[in-house]
Amino acid sequence: MNRMLVGLLALWLAGTVAADDYAAVRERAAGLVGEDAEIAVAESPMDGMLQVRIGSDIVYMSDDGRFLMQGRLWDLDTREDLTDTARSEIRREVLQTLDHDQLISFGPDDAEHEIVVFTDVDCGYCRRLHEQIAEYNEAGIQVSYAAFPRAGVGSQTFHKMVSVWCAADQHEAMTIAKAGETPDPANCDSPVAEQYRLGQALGVTGTPALMTASGELIPGYVPPGDLRIRLDRGTQRASAE
């Protein structure tokens, strides 16, 4: 979330009266960030603090409405990043509504696992991952690429990725770009900019960024065999809950 927005929200909430009513907290936050913003208030695992979801970010506010805190909340007994757990729920919801027709997928639709990979065609570890795309598929993992040109919208990499998404054969163009070559220039109403902004909103800061169906964000390259083990464990945890 924008730092200025957090600062303004903190100052504004600091001047309010006690706000233990969740609906009142939400209305107050909406008064600053706008009625269109997605805001949800819930209990947090920390006594005296509420968890406030603003868009795709999580912050914490004292239950009297005076203090606001931004950062990660850890349970040191379980070593769980509670903030990331909350963000995983957000990512899971977003991934469920993602238009898969705008992704570039490698592997069968009936694969045992699917990951969405925010990728940059000029990223070294993204290229390494793509070199092993057949191994991921053989391990029962479908890889669906979303665009995340790290240099931003309008960069050289951005335009290269637009050419990939606008190519008649997206798979071939992706493989060409991931091999360090330049695909044939192409232009269309591509989702590259939208996917880049989505990645930023979901907490992507580098590539490759792997997201599981449960909303877990796995930063960086993971070899096919190791990734399969990790995905299996995630499925087992979800089944046990």
User: What residues act catalytically?
Assistant: 120, 123, 126, 150
| Residues 174/180/182/183 CA torsion (nearest 10 deg) | -20
Q: Are 158 and 152 in contact (CB under 8 A)?
A: yes
**Strand (E) or helix (H) holding 43:** strand 39-43
Question: In angstroms, rounded to a whole number, what is the distance separating the alpha carbons of residues 35 and 39?
Answer: 9
With b meaning 16 or more CB within 10 Å and e meaning fewer, what string describes 86-117?
A: bbbebbeebbeeeeeeebbbbbeeebebbbbb
What tokens does 116 get?
A: 């969405």
Residue closest to 54 by CA, chosen among 64, 67, 66, 68: 68
Cα angle 145, 149, 155 (rounded to 5 degrees) comes to 145
Query: What is the number of residues in the chain?
Result: 241
Residue 56 corresponds to which amino acid? Answer: S
State the CB neighbour count (10 A cutoff) for residue 52.
Answer: 23
Residues pairing with 69 in the sheet = 60
